[in-house]
Chain A
Amino acid sequence: MPQRILLIEDEARIRAVVQACLEDLGGWEVQLAESGTEGLNLAIQQLFDVILLDISMPDIDGFQIYNTLQATPRTQAVSIILLTAKTLPSDHDRFAQMDVAGIILKPFNPLLLCQQIRDILGWTE
């Protein structure tokens, strides 16, 4: 049973690249969400092993999604990894206050992405 991953990312090409990495290199099952709203709906309706969450999105940003998932009993325990291009110290102060499994910064090495996720979540290959 492959791991099920939800990717919430508004940039179509980044979505495609991440999906390729996770499916073709990791062998995992990836569910894509094009917007915050869609991502939130999927996260609440289905069960995922981990949610890869972009921060900068036009409709609902990653912070709001995180807060909603935390406030929903069904999704409280789901691991969240932030996948973000926000790299300034002020952004990281804000990330530090969030109880997420890990943060992966953009740009990332596509060949190491799967390993990064495994390391964060303690999965074995």
Chain B
Amino acid sequence: MTQLPNAACKTHRWPQKFPLGLMLVLPWLIQMAGLAGLIGYFSHRAGQRAVERLAVQLMAEMGQRVEQSLEDYLTLSEPIHRLTQTELHDGTLNWGDRPQLEAALVQQLRLFPTLSAITLTLKPGQVLSVERFSTDHYHVYWVDPSQSDAAQWHELEIQGDRRSVFRTSTLPEPTASLHQSSTLLTQAANWRVVPVAQANADQAAVLYRSLLYDATGQVQGAIATFMPLTNIDQFLQTLNLGEEASVFLIDSEGAVLATSAPALPNALTLASQTLSPWSTLRRPSHPPSLAEVAVQQVIAPPSQSTEAQPVTVLWQQQRYLAAVTPLASHIDLPWQIVTLMPEAGLIADIHTNRNHILGLALVKLGLAGAIATLMTRYISRPIRALNQAIQQITHEDYDLSLPDTPIHELSELEQGISQMAQQIQTVFDNAESALRVSQEKFAKIFRMSPGASSITVLDTGRLIEMNQSYCDLLGHEHCYLVGQTTLALGLWPNVETRQRYIAQLREQGSLRQIEMEFRHASGDRRTGLLFAEKIQLWGRDCILSVIHDITDRKQSEAALAQSERRLRLLTDALPVYISYIDTQERYQFVNKIHESQFGLSSAAICGQLVRQVIGESNYAIVREHLQTGLAGHLVQQEITLTDVEHRPRIYSLVLVPDVDERQQVQGVYGLITDISDIKQTEAALRQSQARNLAILSALPDLMLIISKDGVYQDSIRRSAMDVIPAEINPVGRPISDFLEPAQAAQKLSAVQRAIATGQMQVYEQALQVNRQLQYEEVRVVPYSEQAALVILRDITHRKRAEAALSESEERFRFAFDCAGLGMTIVGLDGRFLKVNQALCEIVGYTETELLSMTFLDVTYLDDLDKTLDIDYQLLDGKIRDYQIEKRYVHKRGHVIWVLLSVALVTDADKKPLYFIEQIQDISDRRAIEDIKTEFVSIVSHELRTPITAIQGSIGLLQSGIYAAQPEKTATMLDIATQECDRLVRLVNDILDLERLNSGKVTLQQTRCDVSATLNRAIGAMEAIAHAAQITLEVSATAAYIWADPDTIVQTLTNLLSNAITFSPPGSTIRIAARPVNLFPPVMDASPPIESTPQSLVQPMVQFSIQDQGRGIPSDKLGIIFERFQQVDASDARQQGGTGLGLAICKTIVTQHGGAIWVTSEVGVGSTFYFTIPALCPNESY
């Protein structure tokens, strides 16, 4: 039974077991089917080959027949050629007689209806061509170059012998046949296929030509006959090739020329295809016709052999056999005859035959299968019965009933099996009775045994049987235990342990005295000794085991061991040398501490003599005490022994005699304690106390011990700072004897609080000592339950320093707050820590706002990097402080230039704390500098421009290149001169302006007549105005001014010069002067307000110069009085202006206490006004 799984594994690869019936029937059927298939296949192949051979033969014959017939057909016209040659030769026909020739040709054409035309060509280029138009109509063409280049033609109708000429005309174009005829003499070939015109349709015809010779054998001309390909079609159809076979002619290029099969699918198109130029036939149509497919297949390998080689052509899912026969006759046309036969017609019978064979084979196969199945069932029935009988025997059922079988071998097999069954039954009966006796014996012994015996199955550990002792041992009922496993009962701690023992048991056959723990039903853990034997019971491996309970013994052993262990742990943990010494002065017990002391293990020390272990010198000290102890007296002593490193150490020695009940001393317990460290500590403590006292005495502080009720208990005196005179000892006296009542009360309260809370109390006090004010710091420390230590320190110096610092800080704060400069303290993170009012005013933020910002917030973005850079240098200690000019951004958004001085404040360790910064608003200074720079820049540029022109022109002149060019020389000189003038004017203007502005020149003010002044100015400008065709119109009232007349004239001429410059020719400039009452000028370049209040006004004379020029744009009105601020620079320069004229005017007028302004309208003109303080006519200075 146990082998079964393995057997199953081996047969696992094969699918299943096959039934006997299938095994018998299946091979038989396969064989039958295979045979039938092979026979069918070979017969089919043989039939097919035979048919193919037949087809080839047939088609070859067909090809030859067609070839022969075609040759005959094509050569039909040969008699005409021969006849014509003969008649021309013997003079029956005359070369020159055209009507005779025409009649002969028409006659011949009528005789040969398969021909379509006959053409006669004569050597001088004459052509005579007769063509059949219909059965009775003929066209005759005639070309004679000696008469006319054009062809002539007429139509003939012939009915019987009557002929009538219908039309006669000349042809603009030669007909196709005529055209062909013209080449007859030059062509080499006798046979050709040519295109011809026939009945308004293009057709092809076979042309046959022969040359005509005269009597001397010279070529005289040629005759050609045309046979249309359609006629060949009809001829081929008449050949009667069979129902399905067809034939067609192809030329060497594969073009289909004629076909016999108009009924063939797509064959109708073949005839028309012959009409087209051949090459187009090569172009496959869609779908390709049968002819095309056949031609492609046939001519793919050009078939040169004369024998027809059939080719299979597949067209529209039908197979055709095609063969090619070349037209191998004396007709030199490169034609091939293609014969085509549908395969279906030939092979149909074979297919029918094949189907019959297939049917028969299937019927045969069915019959064979049925017979085989019946036979199999007949044979397999008795075999199945035998199989069933054997199954019965294995199930120990020996009462067999076997059927009768007619098969001899099976019948014998049945008898054998019956006999075997009977024998087996007898043997089994005998064995069973013997076994029963043996079992009874064993059971008795088993039950009676006093040991706890059991039988378990070896593999599973399941209990089969056990005696009463076993049940008692485990505390379970018999019925409970049977069937349980030893593992489940807790006889083994785990599976592994049991398996180990089982393995041992299998190997040795028995186990002896195995100590095991198991669980009693009450839950107690017990110990047993196991004896086990492997036995065979009922065919199985079993264990017969006996267990002795040894739990009690084990428990007492464990208790003893634990007690010893505890003692050992206790003694080992103690730092005391504990030993037991017997009367022989040998160690019987020592604790662990001895091991480290003597470098020996406890076991090694035990049994040795004391003197050997501790050494002779120590033994000499101990010996006396040991003997006293051994004499039965308790010994307690301090002794000094040397340790292993020979250092003296002090020990406390206690020896307790061990006296038994008979008062005999058995030994002595030794307890030796090392008290060297304790002794040393005591000494050190004493030293420390003395030292502390010395330190306390050296401290500068006054120390007192004051009791809870305010009485001095001790003091370390500092007479210099003590209120108690040095000669008085305060100990025992109340503090109120020496201190002011308030101070005494404060001190007492601090003392009491310190004692009550256990915490140090600190306060400061000021008191008069030696008639000086002294500051003291008082610290009260709890000392005991009743007293406190009071430490008094003189802090007078510190107090004074603090006061000085506070005063300094106050001074700094004042300086900071009230400084005229902006000041700030900036933290290392850039935050404003402190700002003063001046800074707030510079940047426009309030103090609160600034304190929430960093200096980065107010720094102009472009200056940020510069500032940070230098700040880092400061932080790195590379520089101590710095001063830079940088830009801040005002709260309102404009930029302020400041001069910033920064210093870094550090602590004593050079650690940076913060920056102190001083900020000075230098915007005004910067603005002035910017103006100055710009002015210098402009002046430099304005000066360089004329100098460039001067240097350039003079340099060119100097080089001499214009020596021969007076015009160029003049130009250059002109440039130089004009630019020199400009330069002079510019320099003068600049100097004037500088003189006026610097204040170095004072105005030579006198009483001036306005009219006279105006006239001077006009007189200077009149010539220029005249040259510019401009009229000057003056209107002046009599008035006087207090002024420098030259400068006023200069102002007027400047303004007039401008007006003339920008006025168009023919216009008028109006100059006027009138007295006015005006406020003193308050704004530049804007008209002052005319007013009446006499007290505020000043009498002035207002000059005005009005032009009709182009005017000034309003945005320029404000700046034209600035330096170099022309309205249109290039224009002004061309006019010779320097850009400084108006600035000079403004300066002059302003210095006179007047005002200058302009009103203007673009396109209309401008009016310049200026005022000068007036003088009353009678006023004089």
Contacts and interface: CB of A to CB of B under 8 A. Distances in A.
B941 A86 contact: yes
Contact of A20 (B936, B948, B968, B979): B968
Interface string B1125-1156: 00011100110000000000000000000000
Nearest to A18: B952
Given A13-B979, A107-B944, A108-B948, A21 B937 contact: no
Nearest to A112: B955
Nearest to A10: B1130
B984 to A, nearest CB: 15
Contact residues of B: prevailing secondary structure: helix
Contact of B956 (A10, A24, A58, A86): A24
Contact of A108 (B945, B952, B975): B952
A17 B937 contact: no
Contacts of B1129: 10, 58
A85 interface: yes
Interface stretch (A42-50, A70-78, A87-95): A87-95
Interface of A: 10-14, 16-18, 20-21, 24-25, 35, 56-58, 85-88, 90-91, 106-111
Given A14-B949, A85-B944, A107-B951, A35 B1130 contact: yes
B945 A90 contact: no
Contacts of B968: 20, 24
A24 B961 contact: yes
Given A16-B975, A86-B937, A106 B945 contact: yes
B959 interface: yes
Contacts of B933: 88, 90
Given A11-B1133, A18-B952, A24-B956, 14 more contacts: A11-B949, A24-B961, A24-B968, A25-B956, A35-B1130, A58-B1129, A88-B933, A88-B936, A107-B950, A107-B951, A110-B951, A110-B952, A111-B956, A111-B959
A87 to B, nearest CB: 6
A108 B972 CA distance: 16
B919 to A, nearest CB: 26
Contacts of B941: 56, 85-87
Nearest to A35: B1130
Interface of B: 933, 936-937, 940-941, 944-945, 947-953, 955-956, 959, 961-962, 968, 971-972, 975, 978-979, 1128-1130, 1133-1134
A24 B955 CA distance: 13
Given A58-B1130, A88-B936, A13 B951 contact: no
Contacts of A90: 933, 937
Nearest to A54: B945
A87 B940 contact: yes
Contacts of B1130: 10, 35, 57-58
Nearest to A106: B948
13 contacts: A11-B948, A11-B1133, A12-B1134, A16-B975, A17-B952, A20-B972, A56-B941, A58-B1128, A85-B940, A85-B941, A85-B944, A108-B948, A110-B951
Contacts of A35: 1130
A108 to B, nearest CB: 7
B957 to A, nearest CB: 9
A17 B961 CA distance: 13
Nearest to B950: A107
A110 B979 contact: no
A11 B945 contact: yes
A87 B1130 CA distance: 20
A55 to B, nearest CB: 9
A106 B615 CA distance: 118
Contacts of A111: 955-956, 959
A57 B1131 CA distance: 11
Given A17-B975, A24-B956, A56-B941, A85 B948 contact: yes
Contacts of B949: 11, 13-14, 16-17
Contacts of A25: 956, 959, 961
B978 A107 contact: no
Contacts of A11: 945, 948-949, 1133
B1139 to A, nearest CB: 12
Nearest to A12: B1134
A107 B952 contact: yes
* Max chain A Cβ within 10 angstroms of own Cβ: one of B940, B945, B947: B945
A11 B982 CA distance: 13
A107 B975 CA distance: 15
B983 to A, nearest CB: 11
Contacts of B1134: 12
Nearest to A11: B945
Nearest to A87: B940
* Max chain A Cβ within 10 angstroms of own Cβ: one of B948, B971, B1133, B1134: B948
Contacts of B944: 85, 87, 106-107
Contacts of A10: 1129-1130
Contacts of B953: 13, 16-17, 20, 110
A10 to B, nearest CB: 5
A17 B947 CA distance: 12
A24 B956 CA distance: 9
Contact of B975 (A13, A56, A109): A13
Contacts of A13: 949, 953, 975, 978-979
A91 B937 contact: yes
Contacts of A88: 933, 936-937, 940
Contacts of A14: 945, 948-949, 952
B243 to A, nearest CB: 87
Given A14-B948, A110-B951, A21 B1128 contact: no
A51 to B, nearest CB: 18
Nearest to B941: A85
Given A13-B949, A16-B971, A110 B955 contact: yes
A19 B1133 CA distance: 20
* Max chain B Cβ within 10 angstroms of own Cβ: one of A13, A85, A88, A106: A13
Nearest to B965: A24
Nearest to A34: B1130
A8 B945 CA distance: 15
The 9 closest A-B pairs by CB, nearest first: A17-B952, A85-B944, A110-B955, A106-B948, A107-B948, A13-B949, A107-B951, A58-B1129, A110-B952
A25 B959 CA distance: 10
Nearest to B1131: A58
